[in-house]
Structures are given as structure tokens and as C-alpha cells.
A and B are shown apart, each in its own frame.
Chain A
Amino acid sequence: MATTKRTGGRILGTIILVLVAALSIAGCATPAGDTSGGGAAPPKEPVKIGAVLSLTGSYAGLGAPEKNTLLMEVAAINAAGGVNGRQIELFIEDDATDPAKAQAAAVKLIEQYGVVALIGATGTGQTMGMRGDVDRAGVPQVSVAGGTVITAQFDPLVFQTPWSNSLVVPFTLERLKKDGVAKIALIADSGGFGKDGIDVIKKLAPDYGITVSSEQLFNAGDTDMTSQLTKIKGSGAQAVVMWTAGKEAAIVASNMKQLGMTVPLVGSHGNARREFITGAGPAAEGFTFAAGKVLSPDQYGTGSPEYKVATDFIDRYTKQYGSAPDTFAGHAYDAIHIIANALGTVDEVTPSKLRDAIEQTKGFVGVGGTFTFSPTDHNGMKATDLVTYEVTGGEWTVLK
């Protein structure tokens, strides 16, 4: 009897050991990051702003640049004298990529620190998880997550800085229509961004006279998309539209070349990353995608305000952190500056006045684009903020 028990215990122990080891490795991907607040020692009555970011868990890679950006920008705003003479005190909480934890973090920031505005969360699920408590407290929230649902399921208190698929998809379809494409095949990751993109494309494609001949999914971490692409190859599509923000995008491009597919590969703003070009190498040539103008600030015209904002941010970030900022850093930049600008216009800092002021944002030049909010539009960007890029000679060039 004792022996059976011992063996059972050992087996269980081994199972748990292996699984815990696996989880620990996954969790250790980014062990860096402290949740300390930023800003110089405030002289008196600082304005308190809270941020809920994923600094651990599966979105840690997105939360880290967002945190870097918030710390850098709040320090810069404070060094320049703050907003209306008041310093900004920033409180950052980690949501561990968990919606329940994000909600608890929001409650903590609102109740214990008395923040007048919230930035975050990093992920769509975490952003949605905060909503109940945001609504009850009446505190404005500027999310840096990309899910269409955040502003589509409208909440007067919630704003969103990243490009939403509902903006980028019509722009991309319009371009395809102009190029005479009537039949496309879709390939996307099975995660939130890819599935959301596919849903929006399927809904809108008929409006552009485009049919979807094949729809293929892959999982994050997949290393070969040949079988999906073979199905696409036989489907008679005139173009392959890929929707993913993952590193697997480079594999899709490489596999297409290996299969001798000659139809164009069209991506999304999720591919606005240097890793795609380095990863896909020659297969990246001719790849097109829509994104904001930040990849090529010259697009704004040297000397224009947009150009100055983008290059200034890129230069300062690169100097401070040793690498160029990615699009997630840009979303955080836009969030904190939209709030800071709104703060500058209110006579008395209360959450409700701040919310109204944020909604009044007009023509704010950010890194992701130019934001104009309205009582019905809390994403605030227009298709004119987008350009189509093509990869040529290992660089992004703008397609006219």
C-alpha cells in the first residue's frame, strides 16, 4: 500500500515538475521590469495617472516598450514644468496578462491612488476586463490595445490609440480593388489580432467586390505554413492577404517563395516590424502592407509637425533605451500625450472634466497618426493617416 502511494506521488511529482519548469521558462521570457512609478519628486499636488500594462505573462513583450515610453514621456513632461504647473505622477501596475488582475489593478489605481485617468491595458481582454470598474468610477481610460471590440462596443469613457482593424481593413481592400484583385485568400494567426482581422475582412470584402477563396489559420509558434499555402495555391486567389502581428509572418513569406507562388502577399500594420524584413530576407521583397506614416516620417514632409513629433520621439527613445521604438511604444506615446494635452485644457482636474476634454481632442499629432475624437469616434484616426508600404531592397518604401 505504501509503495503504491509513493509511486503515485512520484509520478505526479514528475508531471508537475515538468509542467512547472515549462511554465517558468515561459514566464521568464522577460524577467525585467519593476512597477515603480516615474517622475521627479513632485513639489505639490501632482496629477495622478495610472497605467495597467502587461509586464509579465504572454504580452510582456508589448508591455515593456509601453512602460519605457510612459516613464520617458512623463519624465519629459515633468522636466518641462508639468501640465499647468502641476507635475504628473504615474503609477504603473502589472496585469500579468490576466483580465481579472487588470480589473484589480484598475480598482487599486482608482481607489488607493485616486488616479484621474487610466492608460491601458496592453491587451484587448485586459482592457475589456477593466470596463466595469472604469464605468463605476467614471474615470476615463485610454487603451493601447488594438482589438476592434474596445471602441466598437462603445463606452463614453474608453478611448483607444492603436489602429483598429476596422480602419486598416477597408484601406487595404480599397487598394486591392484598385489593383484589380477580385479573389483573395486569407492566412492569419489564430490569436486575437489575426481572427479579428479575418472577421472584419470577410464582413467588408463584398463591399469591394472581392471574394474570399480560402481561409487558413496558423498558431503562434508554428514553423511551417506550407500546407495552408498549398491549399491557398490551389484556390485560384489573385492575392494572399495575411493578418498577424507575430514573427510567423516571415515564415509565410518564405514558404510562399519556396512553393513558387507568384501572387502578391499583402500584410497589415501588424507587420510594421523590422524583424519581418530580416526574417524573410529576399522573400520579403515586394511585400506590401498598410500602416501609419511613422515608419517613414519623411512622408509627412520634412519640417512638418508630424515629422518633428515622430523623429523626435524615435531619436529620444533610441538614445535612452538603445533600440528604436516599435509600434507599441508609439501607442503608449499617443495615450499619455492625449491625456496630458487634455489636462492642459481643463480648469479643474476631475475625471469627468478630463473625459470631456479628451473627447475634444482635435488634430492631435501623435506617433501613430493624427487624432480627432468625437462623441461617436473614440479611435480618432482616419484612413488618410495610412499609407501603403512596399519592401524593396530590404527597406520600407511608400507606394503612391
Chain B
Amino acid sequence: MTSSTLHIINKAASNSQLYRDCLDSLHDDDGVIFIESAVYTACGAEPEMFSNFNITAYALKTDILARGIQDKISEKITVVDDGEFVELCCLYKKSVSWF
């Protein structure tokens, strides 16, 4: 188990304040997972806002497929299924939801 935090975001990036708060809260080696409407953030240039941070970014497969954006996901993103999401929650010391 790491001493790091898994940040869970479920809103689209138009919720700019939510993203700013989350970015302000990122510590080295933390993880961020995009779920629900936040999977759009995993597309194309959007993950750039996280590129200054030494973190790992994930996105939830089911939510990506449901929205039909599987071809647009940035290669910097690790796509995980529901089981792996649960494993991540156990792997990190704690999770913080940004809902």
C-alpha cells in the first residue's frame, strides 16, 4: 500500500473550480481517476492540465465505452475496469472524492 491518495473526479472539466481545487490538492505520487462525466477530461489535450504533476491518471472503462469515446482517450491515461478501480481504492492509503 502506498502513502498516497487516490482522487476521484466525476464532473466534466467545465467545472473549473472543482478541477482547480483538485489540482491544488495533488501530492507527488497521488493518483487521479476520471469517472462518469469526468472521462471526457481523459480525451485529447484535457489531461495536459495534470501534466505538471507527478501523478498517475486513470479513467473508468465502462464510462468511456458508454460515451463512445474509447478512440479519443489520451495515451497518458491508464484505462481500468470496475474491478481494477476497486483494487486502486485498496492500493492507495485513502481516496478523496471530487463530486
Binding partners A and B: no
